Amino acid sequence: MLSGFLLCRLTTSRSLLDDRRQPDDQCPSTIPGSRYSEGFMVLDLQEMEHMLNRARASREEIKASHAEMQQLIVEDPLTGCRNRRAMGHQAQDLWTKHTESGEALSCLMFDVDHFKKFNDDHGHATGDEVLRRVGQALRSTFAGVGQVYRYGGEEFCVLLPGHDLAESRWIAERVRKTIEEIQIESNTSEEMLHVTASVGATDLKQQATSCDEMIAQADHCLYMAKRKGRNIVIAYDKEVANAHFRP
């Protein structure tokens, strides 16, 4: 019995197994703190512990890298909001859960007003900053309450479990006012730019037959908000239902 050592059967070098008369000090070793004896490699336990620690560290790095990759798949890199891909999976799950249970679920659509002018008149860096700041305002407001997605371009979608249309409309109005307070310095001048957003709101009680239809209802409310002058919140009602919007 050896105290403080570990015996490892050699399988990688046949010549070492065949010639057992070869002195230990002539056997090549690539592992510090090890030696060969009678076809076995003898490792100091301290060195073996070091090797195991390195293996654990490598495994943790792989896990962290995988988690980071998963986050990148579902997160919009510019705004930090969840992306359209994540929404495709999660929105349907929320719809199914809340239609089956009868719990409230509402949907809000936010669109940055006159966004094209930020890009055209002040540069894309300014436009990006507008989106970052709006995304930050939405994430901060709905943290732990709702799920925020960058729906596309300057449009954001928020799903609010446990909130009906009246509650979500009230929250949307507060967020609209928060966005209205955002000021951003132009990337091409010293001008301070003001940001506003139009908002559409709906919920499960508005007779949508699918998750996609509920989102479309909120989007129609958003078009109505644009028609009525922007920087307002419009909730789904008969007027919106009967209005005709361009595709």
**C-alpha R_g of the chain:** 30
Paired residues of 203 in beta bridges: 106
Paired residues of 135 in beta bridges: none
Parallel, antiparallel, or unpaired: how do β-strands 197-203 and 233-235 relate? parallel
- Which residue's entry shows tokens 């506003």? 196
| Buried residues in 92-107 as b, exposed as e (16+ CB within 10 A) | eebbeebbeeeebbbb
Closest to 216 measured CA to CA, from 229, 227, 206, 230:
206
Residue among 68, 75, 129, 154 flagged as catalytic: 154
Query: Quick check: is 60 catalytic?
Result: no
Give the residue numbers annotated as catalytic, written as ranges: 154
